[in-house]
Amino acid sequence: DAGITQSPRHKVTETGTPVTLRCHQTENHRYMYWYRQDPGHGLRLIHYSYGVKDTDKGEVSDGYSVSRSKTEDFLLTLESATSSQTSVYFCAISGSSGTETQYFGPGTRLLVL
Amino acid sequence: QQQVKQSPQSLIVQKGGISIINCAYENTAFDYFPWYQQFPGKGPALLIAIRPDVSEKKEGRFTISFNKSAKQFSLHIMDSQPGDSATYFCAANAGNNRKLIWGLGTSLAVNP
């Protein structure tokens, strides 16, 4: 398995609270992605990064922000969590060998009450 | 707007049968077509991928068939096994932007 960890793996929070999810990789891959997965919607890209401090929005970026201050870490922040952000969040990485293959982390299950 | 349309949404196959999942795309700039497999509680993992310069790619029991003129590609799982029960996603990518466009997934159940 690619060296990708996500933390926390499970989180329950209340509406209106800030939440930060962390993705950590040991593969020195250039590209990192945050997806959310919901029944009936498949995988939807939230934000992605193509290098340190280089990030861009995906298709469902509203309510989310990201930061990447070093190659190995990509943080996803929900500034003020809402119940619609209850989901499973996956981090992915790609780019070491010039292929487009994305390697996924184990996911974080977030419940916003 | 769904740029990659995947069907069926769910599929039930008997052990030993052939599972077929189809995807259609619209953007002719797409040049990389992977299939990912996801087991419950896990992240998706690359299963097999194809580029449009070939019409078929086979890896073990898994085959991708690609029809460039019809803008369709499909995954065939031969001799389907209960261990193949998972959700399968097709995807597509154009150039080097490294963003995949995903189908909505197919939940496959292989009955023993």
Asked if B33 contacts B92 with a C-beta cutoff of 8 angstroms, the reply is yes
Q: Which of A95, A100, A104 sits opposite B45 (nearest CB)?
A: A104
**What's chain A's length in residues?**
113
Contacts of B102 in chain A (CB under 8 A): 42-44
Band (pLDDT 50/70/90 cuts) for residue A98 is: low
State whether residue A32 sits within 8 Å of chain B by CB: no
pLDDT of residue A101: 87
Contacts of A104 in chain B (CB under 8 A): 43-45
CA atoms within 13 Å, Cβ hemisphere of A72: 8
Band (pLDDT 50/70/90 cuts) for residue B97 is: low
**B63-84 tens-digit pLDDT:** 999 999 999 999 999 999 999 9
pLDDT of residue B23: 98
Band (pLDDT 50/70/90 cuts) for residue A97 is: low
Task: Kindly identify which residue of chain B lies nearest to residue A104, measuring between CA atoms.
Answer: B43
pLDDT of residue A40: 87
- Is A101 close to B46, i.e. CB distance below 8 A? yes
Supply angle C-alpha A104, A15, A105, rounded to 5: 5
- Is A100 close to B104, i.e. CB distance below 8 A? no
Supply angle C-alpha A32, A33, A36, rounded to 5: 160
Of A5 and B3, the one with more pLDDT: A5
CA distance B101 to chain A (A): 9
Cα A64 to Cα A32, A36, A58, B78, B85: the distances in Å are 15, 11, 10, 42, 33
- Residue B84 phi, psi (nearest 5): -85, -10
Which of B6, B89, B98 should we substitute to test contact with A (largest number of A Cβ atoms within 10 Å)?
Answer: B98
Average pLDDT, stretch A91-109? 85
Band (pLDDT 50/70/90 cuts) for residue A113 is: very high
**A30-87 tens-digit pLDDT:** 999 999 999 989 999 999 998 899 999 999 999 999 999 999 999 999 999 999 999 9
pLDDT of residue A100: 78
**Single-letter amino acid code for the residue at B104:** L
Of A80, A52, A50, nearest in space to A65 by CA? A80
Q: Which of A43, A94, A107 sits opposite B102 (nearest CB)?
A: A43
**Single-letter amino acid code for the residue at B9:** Q
For the cut 80, the answer to whether the pLDDT of residue B95 exceeds it is no
- Name the DSSP letter for residue A75: E
> Rounded CA gap, B92 and B94, in Å?
7
- Is B44 close to A107, i.e. CB distance below 8 A? no
pLDDT of residue A22: 98
State whether residue B109 sits within 8 Å of chain A by CB: no
